[in-house]
Structure formats: C-alpha cells, structure tokens
Chains A and B, each alone.
Chain A
Amino acid sequence: GAGVSQSPRYKVAKRGQDVALRCDPISGHVSLFWYQQALGQGPEFLTYFQNEAQLDKSGLPSDRFFAERPEGSVSTLKIQRTQQEDSAVYLCASSPPGQGGFFGPGTRLTVL
C-alpha cells in the first residue's frame, strides 16, 4: 500500500515568498506530525494533529508558520514570508494511535 507522501519534494523560494507544503498520510492514520530537520540534526517537532484537531503547535517557530488538516486527512504546512533560516527538510509522519510514525520522504525547502 501507499506510504506517506509529501509534495513538492524540493522547493526553492525567494526570501519573503509564501510556501505551502503538502502531506498525504497513510489512509486511516489518526495522528499526523510535522517536523523540521536541519542538515545533520534530528527532527524537531513542529506540530501534531489527531484527526482534524491540532493538539500541539508548540514547536512552530513563529507566527509565520501555520498548519492545518481540515478533514483529518491531508495536511498543509504553510510558511509565510520565508526567511533563510527556514531552509530545512520538512518531514511529515503519520501513525495509528499509540504506534511509531511512518515518515514521508520530506520536502527540502531552500530559501534564497
């Protein structure tokens, strides 16, 4: 079956542009996570959904970051007015309740 997919795989943005990153979780997975992974670092928690409810957004680094999952399936991470420090790989993971997450391939964002 299909795993977690993310699009686009690569995104180059000019500083100040808005970007939207999409995550398609595994069908039926209740939990969905977004992580930011800088080069050579571990995944840093951004936000977590259970179905459509955003239960924790404490990891979002600023109010330029916004995530939604309106129908409890596909999720979008939006970054407004991108800055160079936003350059990273953005990983999405989904999981059934109480189990380890299955990661998508990530979106590599480069802000010039």
Chain B
Amino acid sequence: GENVEQHPSTLSVQEGDSAVIKCTYSDSASNYFPWYKQELGKRPQLIIDIRSNVGEKKDQRIAVTLNKTAKHFSLHITETQPEDSAVYFCAASILDDMRFGAGTRLTVKP
C-alpha cells in the first residue's frame, strides 16, 4: 500500500513567521492529498486538500504545493499565529484508500 513520510516531526516558529511541512509518498497512482490539523484531545480536521491535476492551492494563510514527478507535497502556513499550534498530518489517497503521515507538531511562540 501507499507509504507517506512527513518531515519534520516537530517545528517551532515565532509568531508571524512562516512554517513549512513536507511529505513524500510512494505510489504514483495517489491522486488526492489532504492535510489535517489535530488539536490536543480533538479529532483531526481537514484544513486544505489538493488533487493530482493541480500544482498549488491557497486558502488565506495556508497553501499546499504538489510535485507529482518527485512525489512530494508541502503545506505552507504564513503569518503564523499561536492558534496554529497543533499537530498537522498529511495524507495521500489512491481512489478512496487514504494513508497518513506520522504528523508534525507545530508550536507557534508568541
């Protein structure tokens, strides 16, 4: 099955700085790449996604990029705020079979 690797495992940034989280996937057939945010003790929440026919997608302060050739995709958060602190998971999906990365714990220091 699909194997998703995510880096870094922890990331600490100063408020207002940007944060970048990177993921790689193994199966070139993967065609859907969502990102989830999980706050402590809560369920993962979908924050943004990208499909394999698109290279970049933005939604306010967050953006995702996809490089199909290299089989990697990234989450970019600009102008970080303390409430962005959470664990972020990337995922890759073949049809509807979705696998997750191990997560990145983002801490935004005020």
Interface residues of chain A, those whose CB is within 8 Å of chain B, are 30-31, 33, 35, 41-45, 48, 50, 55-56, 58, 91, 95, 97-106
Chain A residues lying within 8 Å of B102, measured Cβ to Cβ, are 41-42
Would A100 and B34 be within 8 Å (CB), given that A43-B44, A58-B1 are in contact?
A: yes
Say whether A101 contacts B98, CB under 8 Å. Answer: yes
Chain A residue nearest in CB terms to B44: A103
The docked-state distance in angstroms from the alpha carbon of A103 to that of B49 is 15
Q: Which of A43, A95, A101, A106 has the most CB of B within 10 A?
A: A43
- Other 11 A-B pairs with CB < 8 A, given A48-B96, A100-B32: A41-B102, A42-B89, A44-B100, A91-B44, A98-B32, A99-B49, A100-B34, A101-B46, A103-B43, A103-B44, A106-B43
Say whether A100 contacts B99, CB under 8 Å. Answer: no
Chain A residues lying within 8 Å of B32, measured Cβ to Cβ, are 98-100
Pick the contact of A42 from B1, B42, B96, B103 — CB < 8 Å? B103
Chain A residues lying within 8 Å of B42, measured Cβ to Cβ, are 105
Chain A residues lying within 8 Å of B103, measured Cβ to Cβ, are 41-42
Say whether A91 contacts B98, CB under 8 Å. Answer: no
Say whether B96 contacts A98, CB under 8 Å. Answer: yes
The docked-state distance in angstroms from the alpha carbon of A106 to that of B46 is 16
